[in-house]
Homo-oligomer: A and B are copies of this chain.
Amino acid sequence: MREAAAADNRPYHHGDLRRALIDAARRLLENEGPTALSLRAVAREAGVSPAAPYHHFKDKGELLDAVAHEGWDLLNELMTDARAKQTSVRDKLTALGVAYVKFARDNPALYRVMYDCSRDKENLPDHLHADNDSAYCQVRDTLVEAGASPMDETELELATTAAWCAAHGLAEMVAFKQFDHLKVTMGGEEAFLRGVFEHMGIFGHARTD
A182 on interface, CB distance cutoff 8 Å = yes
Nearest chain B CB to A172 CB, angstrom units: 6
Beta-carbon nearest neighbor of A123 in chain B:
B177
User: Within the complex, which residue of B119, B173, B182, B199 is in contact with A176, where a contact is CB–CB below 8 Å?
Assistant: B119
**Main SS at interface, chain A:** helix
A148 on interface, CB distance cutoff 8 Å = no
A5 on interface, CB distance cutoff 8 Å = no
User: Within the complex, which residue of B118, B169, B195 is in contact with A168, where a contact is CB–CB below 8 Å?
Assistant: B169
A-B contact pairs, 15 of them (CB 8 A): A122-B178, A123-B178, A154-B182, A158-B186, A161-B173, A163-B199, A165-B166, A165-B173, A165-B200, A166-B169, A168-B173, A169-B172, A172-B172, A199-B202, A201-B207
Contact in complex: B161, A179 (CB < 8 Å): yes
Chain B residue numbers with a CB within 8 Å of A169 are: 164-170, 172
A49 on interface, CB distance cutoff 8 Å = no
A185 on interface, CB distance cutoff 8 Å = yes
Contact in complex: A172, B168 (CB < 8 Å): yes
How many residues does chain A have at the interface if contact means C-beta atoms less than 8 Å apart? 39
CA A182 – CA B160 in complex, angstroms? Answer: 12
A159 on interface, CB distance cutoff 8 Å = yes
Nearest chain B CB to A25 CB, angstrom units: 20
Report, nearest first, the 10 A-B pairs whose CB atoms are least far apart: A169-B169, A201-B201, A162-B199, A165-B169, A168-B169, A165-B170, A162-B196, A154-B185, A166-B166, A158-B195
CA A157 – CA B179 in complex, angstroms? Answer: 10
